[in-house]
Amino acid sequence: MKLGLLSAAMMFVASNAMAQHAHTSGSPSETGQSQFAAIAEIVTLLRDDPETNWAQVDIKALRDHLVDMDNVTTKASIERAVNGLSVSFLITGDDDVAASIRRMVLAHSPMLQGSSDWTVTAGEIDNGASMLVQVGSDEDLNQVLGLGFFGLMTIGAHHQQHHLMIAMGRSPH
């Protein structure tokens, strides 16, 4: 319940901050590509918060995380296998991408399990990571198959708070 309230509060703060800094009508409103926009959103929140501890702020760590997200989303290769009510994913890439894959998959798997009724395990493999999702019904299996690896990585409304924690120099895991 606390995490839900915190997430709702952060969404409210973010929407208010964005509204306060909205450009006037007729002016551009897009801050750039998505990584730049995510950083801009966090910088706005931090600057609007008088409690921000600037000695701990680490925007480079946020940028590095966003690069990991981009590497996994655009450069990773996925192999999927189904065995009964289990789906395994092998996520691989070249050296830089493999490091991003490991960081993202190993960190996100517990979040996915916490946001679902599924059992989710992950581990390192050569050139990346593996993720096993075990479900309890054919309906859940169809959902996992429909979402695929990339859809599963989006589950859980923790990403925005996660980005804020990284930028504030706090461990989100």
Query: What domains can be seen in the chain, in order of their start residue?
Result: 2-21+33-66+158-167 (no CATH), 75-152 (3.30.1360)
Only one residue has tokens 């589950």, namely: 155
pLDDT at position 11 = 44
Q: What is the pLDDT of residue 40?
A: 93
Phi, psi of 18 (to 5 degrees): -65, -40
Phi, psi of 23 (to 5 degrees): -75, 155
User: Could you tell me the two tokens for 34?
Assistant: 């998505």
- On the CB side of 139, CA atoms within 13 Å amount to 1
Between vectors from CA 146 to CA 163 and to CA 125, what angle results, nearest 5°?
A: 60
Kindly state the tokens that stand for 139. 């309906």
| Structure tokens, 31 | 């801050």
pLDDT in tens, the chain (173 residues): 334 333 433 444 444 444 444 445 676 676 778 899 999 999 999 999 999 999 999 999 999 999 999 999 999 999 999 999 999 999 999 999 999 999 999 999 998 999 999 999 999 999 999 999 999 999 999 999 999 999 999 897 566 676 787 888 876 65
pTM of the model: 0.76
The secondary structure of 19-67, three-state, reads: HHCCCCCCCCCCCCCHHHHHHHHHHHHHHHCCCCCCCCCCHHHHHHHHH
Which pLDDT belongs to residue 8?
39
Q: What is the token pair recorded at 101?
A: 């894959």
| Cβ atoms of 78 and 91 closer than 8 Å | yes
Token digits of residue 13:
């703060």
What element of type H or E holds 85? none
